[in-house]
Amino acid sequence: MLEMIKQILDFWFIEEDASSPMTRALWDEACTEYDSFIKHKFEGLHYLAVQGKLNSWLRQPKSCLAFIILMHQFPKRMHRGSPTAYQFDSFAIKATDRGRDRKLDKELAII
């Protein structure tokens, strides 16, 4: 699972070549290529999180951040234009609150 946490964080935060279509798509509201990539790569992991099988990720700073991205940002891309895109916000909010209460955010490097 450590590799999946790294993949989420690297995907979300590491800037690729500025000319890359995927880098430009990060800020494009309607890039189906980007949406499809996220769905293909992370939907299975997202499903595990919904089932509660990734709750152990909430114990450490980086894994908690990856969980928040997986539950808040990725559904917006995987389910664009559907109410389902917002269905998982409560998971992300609870994870954020829990991480903040445990001061996990203080252990993360500034991005």
Tell me: the pLDDT tens digits for 17-44? 555 555 555 555 667 888 888 999 999 9
What pLDDT, on a 0 to 100 scale, did the predictor assign at position 25? 57
Distance CA 46, CA 59 (A): 18
Confidence of residue 89 (pLDDT cuts 50, 70, 90): very high
Its pTM stands at 0.87
Higher pLDDT, 4 or 110: 4
Residue 8's SS3 state is: helix
* Chain-centre distance for alpha carbon 59: 16
Alpha helices in 14-104 (DSSP H): 21-25, 32-50, 61-68, 74-78, 89-101
Residues whose CB is less than 8 angstroms from the CB of residue 1 and which lie 6 or more positions away in sequence, other chains included:
54, 57, 63
What pLDDT, on a 0 to 100 scale, did the predictor assign at position 42? 96
